[in-house]
Amino acid sequence: MLKKFLPNEHVKTVFEITPENLKEKNIKGIITDLDNTLVAWDQKDATEEIVAWFKLMKDHGIQVTVISNNNEERVRHFSTPLNVPFVYKARKPLSRAFKKAQKEMNLKKEEIVVVGDQLLTDVLGGNSSRFYTILVVPVVETDGAMTKVNRKIERLILNWFRKKGLITWEE
């Protein structure tokens, strides 16, 4: 059961996810979380670095869709200037938003990676929907109220994985 929370990969930032790495895995699409994955949860706009990362992916033919449990205004404000599709109020870890993003990308599951900063929403949702998953370190250490609860549960799960030798990275 707990293995549904185990990501396929772990990186410090999305900037470690490059078109070259993705193409080696035959990945053509990214479903990414927004808050604390791409920018701080309380930052409205993409940073210059994130804008450049999205452009890099697009220039290499890699589709990116943002899916977020946040509201429409928040997700639209971030995604529209980047000209990327998005799903708001995604209700992750439920699979509906992941399936919707996959359908809109018109790609096979094995051609898509799910990227996010939370085990209980992004990794669980991606794994349950049978996508390759990459866990990123949160952009900032502060979180919204519900996410604070999730982080406590995540620490317990990560500690269990560490004890079992399933992960080797440090928090």
Q: Is the pLDDT of residue 3 over 70?
A: yes
pLDDT band for 1, please (50, 70, 90 cuts): low
- 106 torsion bin: left (phi>0), alpha (psi -120 to 50), beta (else): left
Whole-model pTM: value is 0.92
List, for residues 115-154, the tens digit of each pLDDT value. 999 999 999 999 999 999 999 999 887 666 667 778 888 8
Residue 170 pLDDT: 64
Assess contact for 136 and 154: CB atoms under 8 A.
Answer: no
**Cα–Cα distance for residue pair 21/147, rounded to 1 Å:** 30
All domains of the chain in start order, with CATH: 2-163 (3.40.50.1000)
Q: Kindly list the distances between the CA atom of residue 5 and the CA atoms of 24, 61, 146, 155, in Å, as whole numbers in the listed order.
A: 24, 29, 18, 12
